[in-house]
Chains A and B, each alone.
Chain A
């Protein structure tokens, strides 16, 4: 008798939970008073070392004194999983920071993001397309990093190699790496992420990874494996075994060149100030190009990068929607861009004034090429906005580890990846 009751009870509980669905709703509060005090919660990560959230919150509340913005901190490595859990439980933040573009469709298809197509965006802002699904905008970009070439001027001088002049192709990059390598210093450091090779390969050849054709990767992997085999670049396996950090390798001058996103500027400046990194002169140059067509300072170099943006929780109190949309509009505006540039963040909206603010930070490079590399480029998104992106990037990640570790030749790995996309994504 007891067992039957227990069994019936658990089946009933399962049925009830399964039918109840997941997202909790909040009651709509009636409020017509625009000056009523409003509190918005905003999701962020590493609040101590990532000042951008607090900066934007403070700048917005300065102009809107009735609004308070509370930051909700999440672990950066598990950000998407944790925000998903909160949203599914109905306790998600009002303003959801979109940390990675490849999760935007998960939130959007799950009905978690409000339609924000009516938020006015300034002309020329980068990255807005990454948040559009079927023509509807679900988030607003406030930050747009891109990948550039960091180079150590002191090590270039010591080796007698000319600084990059903005016209480099990948062959020029390889030649410089060879000339810069000494017993103590490697020509360049390539971090372990798949972005370091695939980002350039896809952006510079104009390849859409959703199509499932990865033949463009071959040349790029051949080039980087050649650098690795010749010893101009730390081996992928050594980098993995010793868990090397790109900040350490470039900052302590173990490598003369580093391909990295523009977010590294703020970190390097801070680390040089604190002594964690060596004190040396450095600059940024446009990333090496596929060929001369896009190279040079009178052309627009092609690189890649994804925006970071804010979306609004679809279950937000209807009284808060206006304030939330105003925050989004502010975050994309020139004022916010200036505030972000002053703390070393690359905003989605760049202009001369914003560039001046960015390079006015003490410790930032002051040469013209750095300013050019930062502000003039064609940035293609690394992650197309689609529900297939996460799976395809997983497959490409496996390709990256297989090829860079030397355990699979590039042709076989490309074939495996293409077959897997057909089999697993369709």
Chain B
């Protein structure tokens, strides 16, 4: 990383411009900047920012989508603390994230390292690894449901063939449903994060690798001491994005298991959706959404502080 040096104090670089022209220039630059941001920001502002701000208000009311929202103070949050389903959803979300995040990082980093070579056909493999990310989620759910079918599905056929006599029930078993969802989710996300890692790997200076090889470092030592440190910014970005996306996971679980069997794959986003849209308790669902927001933000702040300490 390059550092900029501050110019020695007291050095005059050029005579100062008259004040009016400087502020006019600054205003013009600001206007140009705003005109670039504004189209996207207006959309973001009305469709995302405003509803989120309203959500914070709604969390303290008992709105049921029609009529007035009566203020109930902290009643929704007290109810959340005692709600068994909320606890299950919270724990399931943590369970999913703890499994999904390391697995995806390892798989996508591995793929990126493999595909970082200039082999013939590497472009094809990079595209193929990215395909799951852009495939329709419903198609993914249907196909993986068939693959995971406990009696007839290929996954269990293979497991039986290699000697596992009673393979897991996958999506039909309350213990194995979440691991099954994590596998599919990792398969879907690996392409995207692989691309990010590939970009990061391009910034690793080849001279460092050469130097390490000359010094007699093994492949693993080179990976740990050269590649990983250079990848830290990318790794940080991937971890933060992956964490936030894992906490917010919704669509894959909705189409694959709908929270089942029972409540074994119920996650926070789904809890919010059920309470809001299926039971019309929008105030309560808003409170749960606020809880999810604080979970994401606290963990992200933690990651930022950790990263700051590491790079200091």
CA distance A402 to B265 in the complex (A): 11
Given contacts A237-B172, A394-B278, contact A22 B64 (CB under 8 A): no
B280–A241 touching, CB < 8 Å: no
B84 at the interface (CB under 8 A from A): yes
Would you give the 0/1 interface string for A223-256, flagging 1 where the beta carbon is closer than 8 Å to chain B?
Answer: 0000000000001111011110000000000000
Task: Assess whether B145 is in contact with A241, with CB atoms less than 8 Å apart.
Answer: yes
Tell me the bound Cα distance from A18 to B59 in angstroms. 12
A22, A241, A407: the one within 8 Å of B66 (CB): A22
CB–CB A398/B263 < 8 A: yes
Q: Which residues on the B side are within 8 Å of A408 (C-beta)?
A: 174, 261-262
Measured CA separation A10–B45 after assembly (Å)? 9
Chain B residues with CB under 8 A of A391: 279
Against B, the Cβ 8 Å flags (1 = close, 0 = not) of A393-405 are 0100011011001
Are A243's CB and B64's CB within 8 A? no
With a CB–CB cut-off of 8 A, which chain A residues contact B68?
21
Tell me whether A48 is interfacial, beta carbon within 8 Å: no
User: For residue A11, which residues in chain B have a CB less than 8 angstroms away from its CB?
Assistant: 53
Q: Which of B54, B84, B153, B261 is in CB contact (< 8 Å) with A420? A: B84
Report whether B50 and A14 are in contact in the complex, using a CB–CB cutoff of 8 Å: yes
Q: Mark B62-88, 1 if CB is under 8 A from A, else 0.
A: 001111110000000000001111000
Is A424 in the interface zone, CB < 8 Å from B? yes
Which of A10, A112, A238, A420 is in CB contact (< 8 Å) with B85?
Answer: A420
User: Nearest residue in B to A17 (C-beta to C-beta)?
Assistant: B54
Asked if A274 is at the interface (CB within 8 A of a chain B CB), the reply is no
Partner of B261 from the list A109, A112, A390, A405 (CB cut-off 8 Å) is A405
Residues B3-59 near A (CB distance < 8 A): 45, 49-50, 53-54, 57-58
Per the CB 8 Å criterion, the residue count for chain B at the interface is: 45
Q: Are B278 and A402 in contact (CB under 8 A)?
A: no
* CB-based nearest A residue for B45: A10
A88 close to chain B: CB less than 8 A? yes
CB-CB contacts below 8 Å: B262-282 with A: 262-264, 274, 277-280
**A106 part of interface (Cβ distance < 8 Å):** yes
Residues of A contacting B279 with CB < 8 Å?
Answer: 390-391, 394
Give A17 to B56 CA distance when docked, in angstroms. 13
Q: Which of B50, B146, B258 touches A13 (beta carbons < 8 Å)?
A: B50
The answer on a CB contact under 8 Å between A84 and B262 is no
Max count, chain B CB within 10 A of own CB: residue among A11, A88, A398 = A398
B151 cross-chain contacts in A, Cβ below 8 A: 235, 237-238
Please name all residues of chain A whose beta carbon is closer than 8 Å to the beta carbon of B171 when the two chains form the complex: 237, 240-241
Interface contact A110-B65, CB-CB below 8 Å: yes
Q: Residue B173 at the A interface, CB < 8 A?
A: yes
- Nearest-neighbour CB distance to chain B for A397, whole angstroms, equals 8
The 29 listed contacts between A and B (C-beta, < 8 Å) are A10-B50, A14-B54, A23-B66, A84-B66, A87-B66, A88-B65, A88-B66, A106-B64, A107-B66, A110-B64, A110-B66, A110-B67, A111-B67, A238-B151, A240-B145, A241-B146, A241-B148, A398-B260, A401-B258, A402-B263, A405-B173, A405-B261, A406-B169, A406-B173, A407-B173, A407-B175, A408-B261, A423-B84, A424-B83
Query: CB within 8 Å of B: which residues of A?
Result: 10-11, 13-14, 17-18, 21-23, 81, 84, 87-88, 103, 106-107, 109-112, 235-238, 240-243, 390-391, 394, 398-399, 401-402, 405-408, 413, 416, 419-420, 423-424
